[in-house]
């Protein structure tokens, strides 16, 4: 699924970014966001993989390609927060031996 930001979405994100402290430091970012330009590479920043990527764009102004490069590409939900993966990450349900307590 691809999400394409509308002009209204870009305008709202640019205005919101401009009001943040980061907007005062990076004064060109709101203009780039409004015009759908990535603040990192200068490429197209109007199409995103999912809602989470759009959310990241509203925070950082980066396109999908730059987000993928920064975060390492495809999202791995192996530790998705379910009961079993949480216990496995804590060492329970594995073959580790903790001895007698």
Q: Which of 56, 2, 7, 3 is nearest to 35 (CA)?
A: 7
Residue 74: predicted pLDDT: 61
Tell me which H or E stretch contains 47. Answer: strand 47-48
> Does position 90 have pLDDT exceeding 80, yes or no?
no
Higher-confidence residue of 63 and 93: namely: 63
> Does position 81 have pLDDT exceeding 90, yes or no?
no
Global pTM exceeds 0.75 = no
Confidence of residue 24 (pLDDT cuts 50, 70, 90): confident
CA 84 centroid distance within chain = 26
**Stretch 7-36: mean pLDDT:** 91
Measured between alpha carbons, how far is 92 from 84 in angstroms, rounded to an integer? 9
């Amino acid at each position: 699924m691809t999400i394409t930001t509308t002009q209204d979405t870009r305008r709202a994100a640019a205005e919101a970014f401009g009001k943040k402290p980061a907007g005062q430091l990076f004064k060109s970012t709101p203009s780039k966001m409004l015009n759908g330009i990535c603040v990192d590479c200068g490429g197209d920043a109007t199409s995103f993989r999912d809602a989470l990527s759009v959310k990241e764009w509203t925070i950082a102004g980066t396109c999908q390609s730059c987000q993928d490069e920064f975060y390492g590409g495809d999202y791995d939900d192996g530790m998705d927060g379910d009961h079993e993966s949480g216990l496995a990450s804590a060492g329970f349900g594995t073959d580790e031996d903790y001895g007698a307590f």
